Amino acid sequence: MVFVLPHLLVFLLVLLLPISSIAQNNGNVTVGNSLTATDNTTSWLSPSGDFAFGFRPLSNQKDLFLLSIWFDKIPDKTVVWYARDDQNIIIGGATPVPRGSKVELDADKGLVLTGPQGDELWRSNTIVGTVSYGGMRNTGNFVLQDSNSNNLWESFNKPTDTLLPSQIVERSAGVVLYSRQSETNFSKGRFLLKLQDDGDLVLNSINLPTDNPNDPYYKSGTAASAVDSGTSSPGARLVFNNSGYIYIQRENNQTFPLNQEKLGSTSDFYFRATLNFDGVFTQYSRPKTSNANGSWTSLWSIPGNICLATVSNSGSGTCGYNSICTLKLDQRPKCDCPVGYSLFDPSDQYGSCQPDFIQGCQEDKLSTGKDLYYFEVLIKTDWPNADYAFLKPYTEDQCKQSCMEDCMCAVAIFRLGDSCWKKKLPLSNGRVDDTLDGGKAFIKIRNGSSIPPQQGPHSPFNPESRKKNQDNLILVGSVLLGGSLFVNIILIIAICVGVYFIYHKKLKRPMTLSNVNSVETNMRCFTYQELVEATDGFKEELGKGAFGVVYKGAIEMGSSVPVAVKKLHSLFQDNEREFKTEVNVIGQTHHKNLVRLFGFCDEGQQRLLVYEFLSNGTLASFLFGDLKPSWKQRISIAVGIARGILYLHDECSTQIIHCDIKPQNILLDDYYNARIADFGLAKLLMMDQSHTRTAIRGTKGYVAPEWFRNMPITAKVDVYSFGVMLLEIICCRRSVDVEAIEEEKAILTDWAYDCYREGVLDALVEHDVEVLNDREKLEKYVMVAIWCIQEDPSLRPTMRRVTQMLEGVVEVLVPPCPCPFSRTVTMS
């Protein structure tokens, strides 16, 4: 009995093992089996245990998972395939799924991925036949087979960014490999690899969110037009054979090898070939033995130098616009912003750079004096295809001077002894090129920007420039002192007469930019009379709000430039110094989703602000007009507004709380990009002026509840207002509809939560087909809005978190009831 009991226990344990675990012994999975995304989730293993299929938690998001295949015996569990919807170009394919999602093997549908609420997120799309079982093979291929062991679907025919030994890509199948967006972001990236119909293997950058490709930056040369018909033929398939070698097999069975490297044995090494997120296609190897060096080693890559290869007539190149690409030792690119520029998105090191200063013809005319810019010099650096002027023969000094005097010129390139290229923004395909011996790039940077001036020839901090100015003063003084008394008297009289006429003319002439006085950095102080003339006596009113009335005007700058002049209410804070301080803070903001402030007037009791004029009006007129804007436009506008508020809250040198976020304060530029207006004005007015009054039947409107509860006012009041406005953008209706037939629909915030709770978002968007075709994003945006309108400010997310949720960077959790104690707030 003592010896029988252990054997009996073993037998019972085997019987109690889950079916999925037993199936792992031979790699097969029967219909009806499923996996759930949890911390302790199981996976379906290959017989050797080398590969696993299941949910991998994202390293940077503990509650998000990726349905994928990975190397299971190595510590970093390198992913080689992941579920991706190639038809969804807006989302970009692979979307991480939340905790609790499930994948199940179905006889008719194949692999079916569903969310925690049972909504279908992805399926394997078997073409014909009934699935009997699935299997994780030792090659890393997951297959679905019928009862006769015929393959109905396999992951090898739907590759993502990686190929494995024994994998073949047929030209006729139209298979495309897409890179990821980054090392940790599995959404569709900017690069693709494809065996074209003509037999050429190419690498392209693409213009997201579409698949529209730019010119190839690599070609194998195996196209039908590039081969000798007598001795060769075009490529028919891309083969990664069992020995680890990768080659193109031609139609006549000749081979065109992509790699000539001597490889180790596949019995001792793992191999993979990956189109990396930076556009480099690389083959890697890694020892299988546990005591060997545990990291992937690059064997070869194409192209040889991606920084020099990705030169196209369109697209930014390997790195983003205005960036500089440098090749590292591992043949991978490194992207850097030039001096005076910074990343547009700090989280994307390979993204575009933006200037840390304002540059342009209009901006230059708004500035007085010379020496607006200085040059930063870079050696062996170029941005091809951004030229708009080629000057030859030209000296280096002539090249620099021409760029300095040209308001469109951002960079001047001088090389080959007498050649000068002038380039304008945005700069594309930037790279360091060692073949440019003696070549120089002169980057134009505005003086007074956040970057300290270098010793450029036009910088006032340049010792040589300062010495030259001093020498000129000494020379003038010597002439005056050394001349005769009569000559000096004549000179003094001439100077006095000249000053009189200039001053007299300045008082009489109409307003132009030349008689705008500089008071603060990048700000202009206008006289009240100048703005009266600019607005034709404040004739055309554009709108009015809590802060004042806006009038249309024009400033002469060679041509008439339209402006919007806001005349503030008279109840301003009676402190001139504080007014100028706050206006200067507003003037130093610079973001594509903010309306730019040109200048101000601070004269007597008059306080006016001069903004750029945006011709497409307010978001209110855009949303609530007769024609409903497209869903795609509304999504873009919502994200743009969120980014603008995030900039005001977190990225300004001084935090700005808007206090009056609503559609009437969102303007649209020529391309219908959202631009936030009236930011920072709350601090310029008395506190009772900065409260937005929307006392319609005692409902909340856009105003956060803490305004009326004697609670501290923080940036969370803007989050609340944004949430209300986000619902308006989703539904294309006002937050309060006094004409609503059904009373429960009158208050949008209440009705939206009811629709979400009851699962009837169709009614919320009035059964809009375009919106309902993107139901996942609709539900996510409604959830974000509900989080924003929580009555408890501590429950509301920050605008950074809001932006991340809207952009799909972080998961949106199920929101609680926004107003658990009441659905309305009585306003005084």
Q: Which amino acid is at 588?
A: Q
Neighbouring CB atoms inside 10 A of 571's CB total: 10
Neighbouring CB atoms inside 10 A of 209's CB total: 14
Active-site residue 660, yes or no? yes
From 278, 660, 678, 750, the catalytic residue: 660
Work out the end-to-end distance of the chain between its first and last CA atoms, rounded to an integer number of angstroms.
85
Residue pointed to by tokens 């090749």? 327
Cα–Cα distance measured from residue 464 to residue 514, given in angstroms and rounded to the nearest whole number: 29
- The DSSP-derived string for 203-242 is EEEB-TTS--B-S-SEE-S-SGGGS-TTT---EEEEEE-T
CB contact burial 132-171 (16+ within 10 A = b; e otherwise): bbbbbbebbbbbbbbeeeeebbbbbebbbbbbbbbbebeb
**Which residue stretches of 437-513 are H helix?**
463-482, 485-508
Quick one: which of 11, 43, 10 has its CA closest to 27?
A: 43
Q: CB under 8 Å to 796, separation ≥6 — which residues?
A: 716, 719, 720, 723, 787, 788, 789, 790
Neighbouring CB atoms inside 10 A of 742's CB total: 8
Q: Which two tokens stand for residue 563?
A: 């402006």
Cα–Cα distance measured from residue 717 to residue 691, given in angstroms and rounded to the nearest whole number: 11
Q: How many residues does the chain have?
A: 828
- Is 567 one of the annotated binding-site residues? yes
Q: In the chain, what is the greatest distance between 2 CA atoms, to the nearest angstrom?
A: 134
Cα–Cα distance measured from residue 362 to residue 343, given in angstroms and rounded to the nearest whole number: 24
H/E element holding 599? strand 597-603
Pairing of strands 597-603, 524-525: parallel
Q: Which two tokens stand for residue 818?
A: 């926004």
Which residues does the annotation mark as catalytic?
A: 660
Which residues are annotated as part of the binding site?
567
Which residues are annotated as part of the binding site for ATP?
567
